[in-house]
Amino acid sequence: MQQFANPARFLKIANAALPYIWSITAILFAIGLYGALVTTPPDYQQGETVRIMYVHVPAAWLGLFIYCLMGFFSAVAFIYRHPLADAAAKTAAPLGAVFCFLALVTGSFWGKPMWGTWWAWGDARLTSMFILLLFYLGYMAVWSSIDEPTRAAAIARIVALVGVVNVFVVKFSVNWWNTLHQPASVIKMGGPSIDKSMLWALLTMAVAYTMLFLALHLVSMRSEIAARKLRQARLIEIGNR
Amino acid sequence: MDFSAAHVSYVIAAYSISAVCVIGLFLYVLLRDRALAAKLKQNAEKDTL
């Protein structure tokens, strides 16, 4: 872990790994989308609408996973005060927000034909997922509204760590409350209840989304390191005047 | 996929919005990275002069 904490070493490893990650992402998307749209069967109850699952579920998983990652990086930054940990959390936030937004929108497109409604405020899963999106936006607002990076990082870490509680609420909301949203059908005790003919495509799409996030996160971190170098150069220039 | 099935427009809408958001995010991240890398290079060249 400490090996990656050096920005120069991080950039060297990231630049070497990125072409492979992009290639794997493209291959997985091609296989996953072919499975999702062509080879997997329609559901016996939902018909073709079930195909929304292959874009909705991976987006929702990533929305939750990225926030957990932000919480982890924020905890590392709290304990070790390492600036790369803050950069990792900061650059993950916009990516997580987009996946969280996608989960909400594609969920609405799935909800309308299946439940007869686009949205239900009384549903714990939907509302807690919406609150997660607000946490993402709040976290990003902290970084963009405070000019001093050290102060912004200190407040942003607290927002990230508090928001992790909501991730558990999202995950277990379908078990704790009687909701419109169905209970977990993949990550649950006793194994997945989805048929194998559909499960492989869902898991391929989930890995494809995760690889896409990994690639975008590495590029975003590279940008963040460049932005910090530019800021430092600007401060030195102002100091020399 | 049967394009004449019921509710198929919802499936198309879900995939379309996913594609737009993912491609948009991809372009935003890559273009920002290129712009910052170019600025950094420009700064380094300015310093060596």
Closest listed residue to residue A77, CA positions, set A87, A66, A92:
A87
| DSSP symbol at A40 | S
List the structure tokens of B28: 């935003």
Q: Please count the other Cβ atoms lying within 10 Å of the Cβ belonging to residue A118.
A: 11
Give the nearest partner residue to B43 out of A55, A94, A230, using CB atoms: A230
Q: Give the pLDDT confidence score for residue A236 in this predicted structure.
A: 86
Q: Which of A52, A98, A221, A225 to mutate to test the interface with B (most CBs of B within 10 A)?
A: A52
Q: Which residues of chain B have pLDDT under 50?
A: none
Q: Do the Cβ atoms of B25 and A37 come within 8 Å?
A: no
Instruction: Dump pLDDT digits (tens) for A123-140.
Output: 999 999 999 999 999 999
Integer Cα distance of B41 and B49 in angstroms: 13
Q: Which residues of chain A have pLDDT under 70?
A: 1-4
Phi, psi (rounded to 5 degrees) for A47: 70, -140
- Are the C-beta atoms of residues A45 and A195 closer than 8 Å to each other? no
Integer Cα distance of A52 and A107 in angstroms: 8
ipTM: 0.91
Q: Give the pLDDT confidence score for residue A111 in this predicted structure.
A: 93
Nearest chain B alpha carbon to A111: B10
Q: Do the Cβ atoms of A223 and B14 come within 8 Å?
A: no
Residues of B in contact with A94 (CB under 8 A): 25
Q: Give the pLDDT confidence score for residue A175 in this predicted structure.
A: 84
Q: Would residue A191 be called left, alpha or beta, if left means φ above 0 and alpha means ψ between -120 and 50 degrees?
A: left
- Given CB atoms, is B27 within the 8 Å cutoff of chain A? no
Q: Give the pLDDT confidence score for residue A194 in this predicted structure.
A: 86
For A85, half-sphere exposure in the C-beta direction (CA atoms, 13 angstrom radius) is 22
Angle CA(A143)–CA(A144)–CA(A145) in degrees, nearest 5?
Answer: 95
Q: Do the Cβ atoms of A52 and B11 come within 8 Å?
A: yes
| DSSP symbol at B16 | H
- Are the C-beta atoms of residues A219 and B30 closer than 8 Å to each other? yes
